[in-house]
Structure 1
Amino acid sequence: MSLKIDSGLFGYDFTDHHAILCVPVDAEIKEIRKRYLQIARLLHPDSSNVVGDSQKQIANQLLSKLVNPAYEKLSVERNRGEYLLILSQMGKRFSQEAASIMLKTELAQQLVAAPNISMSYKEAIAKIAETQFSDLQQAHKIIAQISELNLVYLMRMGGQSMNRPPSSQPQNSHKQLPATPTPSSPPKEESAAEQYLRRAQSLLEKNQLSLAKVELQDALKLEPKNSHCHSLIAMVYLRQNQLKMAKIHFDNALKLDPNEKTALEWKPKVDQALGITNSGSQGSSSSKTEEKQPDKSGNGGLFGGLFGGKKK
């Protein structure tokens, strides 16, 4: 039996592990593990009710070549993080190319116009999961159908970071972004760059630095003269102990806006760590050593204050 799948995300030379396990693309690890155990019981020779040698062979192929590798990918936190980052980038691409995307299944076409995309998507996934492996001969076609739903969901969400339930966001998650309009003002529609900034701010607060950097780099492509964006990406580099890159972006932020608050606060500290005096010259060798041995206590120092240090 051929296990080749060429619809949905598979059609973009991408293995859709979420489709194989029939879980939403923002599923938590606990949900992924629960679903994997359900499938394993259905397909494993020691526990399945599959009858006939040919059917048992198909079940074994599905388990060993698709299901087990999918679970291994999604159950390891580091692998899963990289995988979700790729999904987020694909979602941005799909949202920009929506008009040219061809869908084969009626269910996916209906999902394109669903008023509540998140609820409709998850309901469809849950319903398919009930019978995903009822007919093993058709399992690869079912997986293809699920992958088309995943594609539509990513397209509709526009590449928003996965695995980020709205209810878990802190109430002050936008504190460094421009203030929201007053009740008397009409709501302002966010630009694409503002959406990137908002997501990056939330990711920064969760210490998801690599994902935050991707969002900020995309924002800078749209608005290279956004001083706040330069400050935020400088903070990412600062958290990653890339002080020279942090300085470059703090400098850019202040050139664009001399009153940029974050840059004004943190650039002097970065300059001090790099051994740069007010005149722009390099300090003593002992000062240079500070870049190689930054404060890692987490209780203040260069990386305290804004990110985890004690508030004064």
Structure 2
Amino acid sequence: MSSMRGHRVGHTVPVAAPAGVVYGVLADAARWPVLLSSHVHVERLDFDGDTEHLREWEVTGGGVRASRTRRVLDARSRVIEFEQRYAPGPGAWAAGAWSVEAQDTGRCLLTLRQDLPRDGSTGTAGEVEAQVRGRLERVRRVAEQWETFDELLLSFEDGVLVNGPAELVYDFLYRAGEWAETVPHVDWTSVSEDQPGVQLAVMDTCAGQTGEPARVEAVRLCFPHAGRIVFKDTRVPGPIAAHAGEWYLLPTESGVRAGCVHHVLLGQEDVARALGEDATLADARRQVREWLGRASTEALGLAKWHAESAVCRLR
């Protein structure tokens, strides 16, 4: 690959957060979908303590791009080197390194360098430079909230036990384009699937605090053989800043457990605007848990009814 490398792009930004915190954000790739706006989903394929291999899905240019990434993590020097190959063709790739340099107390310098292929398969020098600056800014912005991470981040799960075929539960969850006709909190929806298994969904819902319609846009990655639909909201109502998760099916001795996992990042500056001047982060956590939990539980209950009623009709 080194023979194909051409121009190198690199930039450094100051970050008002400890070097260890910034390195932790970069190292914890599984949390990128809720921390970094460009990432839809990240799966770790293997890790030996130093080198890891990832599958990544990112929003780019109005679409979704998948890639496989090899990363070498050096926690002592706070350097992460990476090589990334994009699907579907073998030619497009990116390579480079993140590095974090500690400064005075609670501050650091974050650098990202990226090599530009000679064939231009990942964009022009100007496009790659803009990409580098954008990634640095996204990491800086989220890392500088580190003191309130415990209050801003929340994860939770809801589930139901289904006495019916997993395929029918998955079918209901997959056909989100029909939810306006079947799910009470969904007023309108539009779902397109230009790439197999990659859905772009737009929904008007009334699952918020006031019951007023709120538009949500999402990317959904569908894995039917694994019984999973991973999602990342790309447009969310306040006080939510980011929302990602997955619908899953898990066979058990008693039937099929159908569940939904949510990972949420709250927008601290949006709490008062969305919930009122007296609202606190604790209020926002409680209400967002209630809103999203109610919506996913309603959809899961209908998926359960869809599967179990079909079984009853066949008997």
TM-score normalised by structure 1 residue count: 0.25
Q: Which has the higher helix share?
A: 1
Q: Which has the higher strand share?
A: 2
Greater Cα radius of gyration, structure 1 or 2: 1
TM-score normalised by structure 2 residue count: 0.25
